[in-house]
Amino acid sequence: MSSTSERQTPNGGLTFFAKSQLLSTDDVARGLKRMAHEIIERNQSLEDVVIIGLQTGGKPFAEKIVGLLRDISTSEVPLGMLDVSFYRDDLSVHPVAKSAQTIIDEDLTGKTVILVDDVLYTGRTIRASFNALSDYGRPKAIQLCVMVDRGHRELPIRPDFVGKNLPTSEAEAIVANLEGVWIGEKK
């Protein structure tokens, strides 16, 4: 993505104008590998761990982390996807965009769920995910893994695993994917 590039944001509707690239593809890959190692260190056994990617931004990161966990530990960690669109408390400010599919094939009761998302900002998406997860059982623990923590929390939510802390102004926007992380603005 060049410095003047424009693209649709994953949630549709808005256009993102990149000012500069903050992390390269290699930086993102290193961050994901480090987080996979941290997940293994924190969770002595991966037997009861389930990775849940938040639709749509967390999906590619969750898929990559599951692959890395398999490569590092030879454990098969279940993967699910969660759409929290209808669980959000800010629908009046952010109307529901085209929703994505929730795919959770496991009862989460007694499991350690690792939620994976691209960017942590206000914390409202994560709060909504807690409500959505309750439809699939009562996890033993929920851990949060994000590629970018940009600050500006409105709720007391803190990630357990972070690819990169990138403080931003509220006027700025961040787009993160497996190809890199960019800062810019949404219009």
AA identity, residue 15: T
pLDDT at 74 over 70: yes
pLDDT at 99 over 70: no
Tens of pLDDT, residue by residue over 144-183, are 999 999 999 999 999 999 999 999 998 999 999 999 999 9
Q: pLDDT value at position 100? A: 80
Q: pLDDT value at position 96? A: 60
**Span of 98-102, 105-109, 115-119, 155-159 with lowest mean pLDDT:** 98-102
For range 71-81, the mean pLDDT: 96
What residue segments make up the domains of the chain, in order of their start? 28-166
| pTM (two decimals) | 0.89
Provide the pLDDT confidence category of residue 3 given band limits of 50, 70 and 90. Answer: very low
Distance CA(68)–CA(31), nearest Å, equals: 11
25 three-state secondary structure = helix
Distance CA(97)–CA(52), nearest Å, equals: 20
- Class assignment of domain 28-166? alpha beta
Tens of pLDDT, residue by residue over 21-43, are 999 999 999 999 999 999 999 99
Distances (CA, A) of 59 to 53, 93, 102, 104: 5, 24, 11, 13
Provide the pLDDT confidence category of residue 6 given band limits of 50, 70 and 90. Answer: very low
